[in-house]
Amino acid sequence: MHVTHLKYITILIVMGLCASTAQAVKPPLNRDTLAEGRRIYEQACAWCHGIGGEGDGPAGWFIGRYSSPRPRNFVKDGYKLRSTASGELPTDQDLFKVITQGIPGVMPAYRSLNEQERWQVIAYLKSWNPAFEEEQPVPLTFPSGARGPTEAGIQNGRNLYVKYDCRVCHGDNGEGDGPEATAGHLRDTYELPIRATKLTDPSSFKNGASPQDMFRTLMTGMDGTPMPAYANEFAGQEEALWELVWYLRSLSGHEGS
């Protein structure tokens, strides 16, 4: 009897997860979808990203002014926020996540577009970059941090933070005041100055602040910024990477997951 209940609960959870990923309403890629995507894009997105998707909309300049980030250039730029390996294109789900959740400080969450509208916009903005037709982006696998944070793990995470020179940009205590940052040496691919993320302030994390988000960011890096991908360094040592995540979480007072 208990096993049956467990099955029902599991099915409900899975259904809930499926609903939240919203793949079910993804429309077919055809002219109607692109036309509708264009209409929505021009009303909601073009102000910053530009009518041609080159990141040069009339409002976009003021977001960074003389510093990074500028609005994404969908025609030729790489993508910072991905679940794929460094240098690769993002998955559709990555794009959907950014549109849905926004980017703290610079891009609002467009939950007010219904899911179908968000997919239509994604289809339209992908049409600018032919690489999306040639490649099938594959997300990296992200094992869960099954063991959770421990005191020893957090200490080991601190050691990794030092070993991999995170402090050079993010500072000794994660305040974003490392020597490279304070010297103004950090630049994006446009040579615009860029700030090191203040790890003590999770609300400013552009790629999300959950442990899974942070693990993913460390694995994939943020292309176009000085933040490298650590997928190779931690290949086969995912548990160590989780310890680094727990340490980073501890900088903002989060002890658990």
Partner 1 sequence: MPSRHAAIRAAITGLALLSGISALSVQPAQAIPAFARKYTLDCVACHTAPPRLNTFGERFLENGYQLPGTEDGGTTGKKSLGDLNLDDFANYTGVRLRGNVLRSHQFKQQNPPVAERGMVHNNSEFGFPEIFSLFTAGSLTKNIGFFAELESNLEESSTGIERAFMTFNNLGGNNLANIRVGRIDPSATFSFSTLRQQLEFVGESVHPSTNMVQRAGLFPLAASAKFYGLRNRSGSVISPYAPSLYNAVAETGIEVRGRPFGDWFMYQIGMLNGANETFGDSNRGKDVYGAVRFDYARTAHFSASLSGFAYLGNSNATVLTETGQADVNWHRYGIAAHVRYKMFDLYGMYTLDRIAHVPAAALASFDTSASGLSLALDTYVTNRTLLSLRYDHMDAGGDLSQRTSQSFAGFQLKQYLRSNVALFARTDLNLRRAEDGNAAARNLRHALFAGIDIAY
Among 22, 29, 67, 100, binds partner 1 (CB under 8 A): 67
**How many CA atoms lie less than 13 Å away from 147 in the CB half-sphere?**
14
Nearer to partner 1 (CB atom), residue 60 or residue 221: 60
Q: How far is the CB of 190 from partner 1 (least distance, A)?
A: 13
Nearer to partner 1 (CB atom), residue 4 or residue 112: 112
Cβ-Cβ contacts under 8 Å for 181 (sequence gap 6 or more):
169, 170, 171, 195, 196
- The closest alpha carbon to 82, from 189, 231, 193, 188, belongs to 231
Nearer to partner 1 (CB atom), residue 5 or residue 65: 65
Q: Which stretch binds partner 1 (CB under 8 A): 19-27, 81-89, 99-107, 140-148?
A: 99-107
**Binding status of residue 130 toward partner 1 by CB under 8 A:** no
Phi–psi pair at 84, nearest 5 degrees: -100, 170
The long-range contacts involving 69-74, CB below 8 angstroms and separated by at least 24 positions, are: 69/106, 69/188, 69/194, 69/206, 70/190, 70/192, 71/107, 73/49, 74/49, 74/125, 74/126, 74/128, 74/129
Among 27, 29, 54, 128, binds partner 1 (CB under 8 A): 54
Q: How far is the CB of 36 from partner 1 (least distance, A)?
A: 12
Residue 221 near residue 80, CB atoms below 8 Å: no
Among 33, 36, 37, 60, binds partner 1 (CB under 8 A): 60
Binding to partner 1 in span 171-210, by CB under 8 A: 176, 195, 198, 203-204
**Binding status of residue 231 toward partner 1 by CB under 8 A:** no
**Binding status of residue 169 toward partner 1 by CB under 8 A:** no
Q: What is the Cα–Cα distance from 86 to 83, expressed in whole angstroms? A: 9
Nearer to partner 1 (CB atom), residue 51 or residue 85: 51
Give me 219's structure tokens. Answer: 């694995």
Size of the site for partner 1 (CB under 8 A): 39
**Binding status of residue 47 toward partner 1 by CB under 8 A:** yes
Give the footprint of partner 1 on this chain (CB under 8 A).
Answer: 40, 42-48, 50-52, 54, 56-63, 65-67, 102, 104-113, 176, 195, 198, 203-204
